[in-house]
Every structure is written in structure tokens, then in C-alpha cells.
Structure 1
Amino acid sequence: MARIDYYDVADAEDELKLALANRSKLNIFSMLAHAGAAAPMVLDLGQSLSRHSTLDPAQRELVLLRVGHACEAEYELSKHRRAARRAGLSDEKIDAIAAFPEISEIFTDFEQLLIFFTDSVLDETRMPDDLFEAVSKDLDARQLVEVFLLIGFYRMVSRVMTHLDVDIEPLSDFEKYQLALI
């Protein structure tokens, strides 16, 4: 059960009502609405990073699942496991992301680099040059910046959802939103 009540959209300013109008009725959106004037910008950034990214969708979901595990964010993991399947990640890889690097043989060399990259962004002030250079061989400048933004954004959202104990919706309420991410 959430630690605070979900935002009542009936009480929202017009800009926030507009930002929420075309979105699924997910608890994450109802909780983020408490941010007032910042909420539309946060929601737009998340949508932009999900829908307009030039990253391969499977790579994006690999990063998001790793962030979710690092943050122990069951809400985010519940949503992105399904998106990862739709993006082409096998159940075996989805399950192994949490155990990496102990389980690494099922990931491609680049997927392993991407997981190490994600961990480095989460854990270090500045990643080692050799790791950055290795990932830079396969991602262009836009994609590199998108990965940094994805990691930072989903870490922020995961922390909010976890600390506020946002309730996980039944999958049927989430289906339309997941389809839009791919």
C-alpha cells in the first residue's frame, strides 16, 4: 500500500490535467502528479526517452532492468520485464540480469559491456576510460547521451516509486502503455 495517497487529477491545474489526459491510469503517473508543475516535464522526459530513443529497444530494456535491480524497484521491474520480452530479450536473459556478472555467458559481449556501463554510471563518479571507449565503439554520441539519461531518469523514478511503495497494477491495466514503449 502506498505511503501517500495517489494524486486526485480532479484537483490538478490545467497543464497537469493535459499532461495526464492521454496517459494510461497508472499508479506511477498518479504518484508523480504530486510534483505539481514539475510533473508534466518529468512525464514528458520519460516518454521521450522511451518512445524516441535511437537505442535498440532490447538494449534499452536491458539497461532499465539493470537499473531496476540496482534500485530494488519492483514497480519498475514489473513493468519492464514485459517490455523486455516484447523488445526481444529472452526470459533467460531477463532473469540473469540481476545475477550478472555471476551469470554472464548468455549475454553477448556488447550486452555485457552495456551492463558494466550501467553499473558504472550507478556506482562511480566517473567510469573508467576503457569501458567508455569500448561502449563508444557501438553507440554514437546521441545514443551514449540517451543511455546516461535513461540510467539517471529511471534511477530517479525507481527511488520515488520504491520509497513511496507505489502499488503494482494488474497487467491488464498496463498493457496499452507497454505496447507504446516498443
Structure 2
Amino acid sequence: MTQKPARIPFVEPGTRPELAEIEAGILAERGRISILYQALLNSPPLAAGWEKLLTAVRNQNSLPADLRELMIIRVAVLNGADFEYHAHVPHALKAGMAQEKIDALRLVAVPMEIYTPTEQLLIRLTDAMTRQIVVPEEIMDGLKATFDARGVLEAVATVASYNMVSRLLVALDISH
């Protein structure tokens, strides 16, 4: 099987001295420089900003890790971003999400009865933001009844940010 050429070149870590500080930050936060970041390193300001934003959204977020990963995985599924999906399944499992719940997120019609009311609400938010962009008032009312203002913002920012991630991955055809 012949592999398709990359849509943009990947920057090999350690090959461009001017990127050393950015690469060190990525390594400190992620433990490695994935192929996604190798693509992002084509634009040093974008790579640095991306790392700061995604670190805040995923690692400095007040929402429990399992809820964040639920939204991230659902975004990946809805957008056909297999790289993102496979990157986040281990995080979801580590956060305590059951494999059954992870697998169900891959379905068009998610069997909501296996999820808690909060998880159901976040799946509905993720689907609305990803598919229709506009969030119906009943979903927003549910969020405000469940979370404080920070939690509402962080849930919405998680879905928004990972839509950005998945759309970049899909557009650039980045996969494992």
C-alpha cells in the first residue's frame, strides 16, 4: 500500500534551532512532539499559541477529565478525525470512562440511557455545537443549572477548541 504524501511537510523535532524553545514547551506539556505538532511547527507563532490554548482547555480546565474526554471524543467522531479519536481514547480510559461509553460515542444515535444526566447534556451540547453551531436554549439552560459560569465556559470552549483541532487534522489529512 502506497502512503499518500503529506499535505504540508512535518518539521522534524530538533532540526531547527529557532524552534527549540517552542519544542521544549511542547515536550514539557505533552511528553513528545506528535505529528500534529510537527505540522504546526511550520508556523512557530501558531504552534506556540496552539499549545497554550489546548493546554488551558485540556489540562487547566475545572471540568472532570472524563467529561472533557467525552466531549473531545464525540467531536472527533462527528468530524471524522480518527487521529484525534485514537489520541484521546487512552486519556478517556485513564480518566475512568468505560469502554462501552467510548464505543457508543461512535454511533450516529448515541444510546443516551448509558450516560449520566450530565454526560447526556454534554453530548447534546457537543452535537449541537459541532453539527448546527447554534446551541438551543434548553441545552444552555441545562448547562447553567449544572455548572457555574466557569464550567459553562470551559465546556463550550472544549467543544469549540476540539472542533478546531479536528478540522485542522482532517483538512491536512493528518493520521497515524
Counterpart pick for 2:9 among 5, 8, 24: 5
TM-score normalized by the length of structure 1: 0.84
> How far apart, CA to CA, are the structure 2 residues paired with 1:42 and 1:57?
20
Residue 49 of structure 1 pairs with residue 57 of structure 2: yes
* SS class of match (1:37): helix
**Cα offset, 1:129, TM superposition:** 1.1
Q: Which residue in 2 is equivalent to 1:160?
A: 168
- 1:73 alignment counterpart: 81
Which 5+ residue runs of structure 2 have no aligned equivalent? none
Match of 1:35 among 39, 43, 47: 43
1:102 Cα deviation after fit: 4.3
Change (3 A) 1:39 1:78: same
CA contact (8 A) 2:22 2:44 kept: no
Between 1:84-93 and 1:147-156, the stretch displaced more is 147-156
- Give % identity: 29
Normalised TM-score (structure 2): 0.86
- Provide the C-alpha distance between the structure 2 equivalents of 1:49 and 1:144, rounded to a whole number of angstroms: 13
Q: What displacement does 1:74 show? A: 0.5
- More displaced 10-residue stretch of structure 1: 22-31 or 78-87: 22-31
Corresponding residue of 1:174: none
1:136-169 deviation digits (Å, cap 9, x = unpaired): 111111111112211111111111112222232x
CA RMSD, Structure 1 to Structure 2 (Å): 1.7
Tell me which of the two structures has the higher relative contact order, counting C-alpha pairs closer than 8 angstroms and 6 or more residues apart.
1
Gaps of 5+ in 1: 169-182
